[in-house]
Amino acid sequence: MIDAVRVTRIPVEGAADATSLRPSDASPVTFESVFAAERTAMMRLAYLLLGSETLAEEAVQDAFARLLDRFDRVDNPGGYVRTATVNRCRDLLRRRRHEERVARLLRTAAPASLGADHLHDVLGALTDLRGALDDQA
């Protein structure tokens, strides 16, 4: 028999409650209020996905920039910025994997010591590697 698991929601300082971003007669939702309510949670999410504070900051800034461009057309700004943050993190992870793959190919394809007179050979090797990467993609 499976025991029931009790889940308790623990409030996180700086994180927004789902009801706090809904418009009311007293205070309309502004970009600034969404930014203040969601930024800390988005930074934590991006850091967990990327493992780098610098990349997390980049992802969150990009997500909020996308939100700002579309703010008047977005029904749920908190959900939008969360989705945009996750998508940007995926893009950054994909770029990181691509760069690592290129670096690995360069290490295996190019000799360890090249002089300045070998520039033409290196450029030719890079062209060949780009073709190999395009074939893999």
Please tell me the least confidently modeled range out of 38-52, 68-82, 99-113, 119-133: 119-133
Q: Dmax of the chain from CA atoms? A: 74
Q: Which residues contact 12 (CB under 8 A, 6 or more apart)?
A: 40, 41
Q: What is the mean pLDDT of residues 86-112?
A: 86
pLDDT band at 121 (very low <50, low <70, confident <90, very high): confident
Give the pLDDT confidence score for residue 89 in this predicted structure: 97
Tens-place pLDDT, residues 24-34? 445 688 999 99
Give the pLDDT confidence score for residue 82 in this predicted structure: 97
